[in-house]
Chains A and B, each alone.
Chain A
Amino acid sequence: MQIYLPIAEVSVNAFLLLGLGGLVGILSGMFGVGGGFLMTPLLFFIGIPPAVAVATEANQIVASSFSGVLAHLKRKTVDLRMGTVLLVGGLIGAALGVVLFNYLKSQGQVDLLVKLCYVVFLGIIGALMFVESLNAIRRSKRTGSAPKRRKHNWVHSLPFKMKFRVSGLYISIIPPVLVGICVGVLAAIMGVGGGFIMVPAMIYLLGMPTKVVVGTSLFQIIFVTGFTTLLHATTNYTVDMALAVLLLVGGVVGAQIGTRIGTRLKAEQLRILLAIMVLAVCGKLAFDLLVQPAELYSIGETGHS
């Protein structure tokens, strides 16, 4: 069944979209990741204009993180204070990101920017995950030592300190604000929640306890991607409601299935699978940038729309 998307102005198969949503949903349920970083490139591949893909994906992330945040709030595993500090940074970052996005759009370079960001980040994350899970498999065979974590680093010697009771931290607000800005920029440019950057940064850089990390990052992600959605909607008119709903319905159902599959599989193997997939998507995008395209010319819009 073909469906005409009102904002993207293309006609695509509705079942393909539901299927994509479901597939990415299963993966995100299995691996506990947001899925934005897989969904957005997949949308490029099926011919959705990158600007629409990025803006719509931001919209979808808000919705798919919403029930997660509610669950975490109920369990009181959200550091609201830290979340707010991250959020302030995130809003600044998202605004900067949209300004950069619109500038490059007018220069005809936005596709390149989005794709380059994806190649770089997917490459790094995929490689790190791959190595880490290989090590984990080796470790589980030898039953060796647990990973060490530095307790004190340069983060603790900065000014403007603040007490974060839920996380049990007394640190400067500069690093969380900076982390927030980075995530905000990524959310605006790449159409991702940024959990894959924020979670490691919270654990290793800020030293937050693992149990509040996911809830706090989801709390920040909801507001930042919500803000990004509004910015894209008001400046670019690129949020496609119909596309978002189709992806979401597939995604939510997929996530429920994925969570059940995930509990039955071994974590290390799962992560290797995810790493390989991330690297494959990265490789495809990089390949397209490196190889001479069949058509050197492209048609861009001019002026208002």
Chain B
Amino acid sequence: MIRFVFAILFFALPATAQDVVAGLSQKRVAITASFDGSEILIFGAVKREAPIDDDQVEVIITVAGPSEPVTVRRKSRRLGIWINTSAVEVDAAPSFYSIATTGPLNEILTHTSDFRHKISIPSAIRSVGAPQSISDASRFTDALIRIRKANSLYQLNESTVEIADQTLFQTNIALPANLVEGSYETRIFLTRNGKVISTYTTAIDVQKVGLERWIYNLAHERPLIYGFLSLFIAISAGWLASAAFRAFRG
């Protein structure tokens, strides 16, 4: 295996000497009270020392939210009602994962390269073991992908990266409103004949700011004070609203 990896490295990288440079329209996403999703422009260029050769260069861009363990549960019918009966713990799944490519993913990336760089959605999810009682653990990871795709948390946007003259490329990544905080690792892969020839990694920082930040921190770090504060604020807001309404009525 290691020898195999070395072989790829040896043959793929130095011979071509192509590099990728890239930039983002924003490296910080601020979740404010009125946050309703965001769009990030990712652009870059292929840097070459030799003139353009015959083989097409392809670009794959991935943006991944922080990975967390999740529990996927399945319902089945018990006593006439639908109840969660079995569960599989997935060791690490990114909270958000978006792929944008210049072409169909399975044509521009081989399985081995995908496995090594963990590019496609299924390989970005790490699931080690399911309980003995569950024989179809893969259905749980499929369901995880399906549900998150439906919520736009996992996106596979093939052929959405525009590449001009085999050199300049750009794409838009849509971040939905239901984002969690964290560092979103952004990777750009250059592939040729299905093999990765260059990578570029950067990060987008997604953070709650201002009031959102303050409320969230207080709730998690000083929960008792937060609890009393919520009660106090709710009581005074209620009292104020009724006082305002009475004043308004006459």
Contact = CB atoms under 8 A, between A and B. Distances in A.
Interface stretch (B4-12, B17-25, B163-171, B215-223): B215-223
Nearest to A241: B230
B121 interface: no
Interface string A284-305: 0000011111011111111100
A59 B230 contact: yes
A230 B224 contact: yes
Interface stretch (B57-65, B182-190, B238-246): B238-246
Given A4-B33, A242-B33, 13 more contacts: A2-B36, A59-B231, A62-B231, A67-B239, A233-B227, A239-B219, A290-B81, A295-B146, A298-B147, A299-B72, A299-B148, A300-B70, A302-B69
Sort A-B residue pairs by CB-CB distance and give the 10 closest, nearest first: A233-B227, A297-B143, A63-B234, A11-B177, A63-B238, A252-B241, A230-B227, A234-B223, A300-B71, A4-B35
18 contacts: A10-B177, A11-B178, A63-B238, A64-B238, A230-B228, A233-B227, A241-B215, A241-B233, A242-B215, A290-B80, A296-B82, A297-B72, A297-B75, A297-B144, A298-B147, A299-B147, A300-B71, A300-B73
Interface in A117-175: none
B180 interface: yes
A248 B238 contact: yes
Contacts of A11: 35-37, 177-178
Contacts of B89: 302
B39 interface: no
A301 to B, nearest CB: 7
A108 interface: yes
Contacts of A1: 34
B13 interface: no
Interface residues of B, number: 60
Interface in A72-121: 108-109, 112, 116
Contacts of A291: 82
Nearest to A295: B147
A277 interface: no
B84 interface: yes
Given A4-B34, A302-B71, A233 B144 contact: no
Contact of B84 (A109, A232, A255, A256): A109
B217 to A, nearest CB: 9
Contacts of B180: 9
B237 A249 contact: yes
Contacts of B146: 295, 297
B134 interface: no
B69 A303 contact: yes
A287 to B, nearest CB: 11
A297 B237 contact: no
Contact of A233 (B80, B223, B241): B223
A162 to B, nearest CB: 30
A7 B216 contact: yes
Contact of A253 (B77, B226, B235, B241): B241
A133 B226 CA distance: 43
B158 interface: no
Nearest to A4: B35
Contacts of A2: 34-36, 177
A229 interface: yes
B83 A112 contact: yes
Contact of A297 (B31, B147, B227): B147
A66 interface: yes
Contact of A300 (B87, B227, B239): B87
Interface in B32-60: 32-37
Contacts of B249: 256
B235 A66 contact: yes
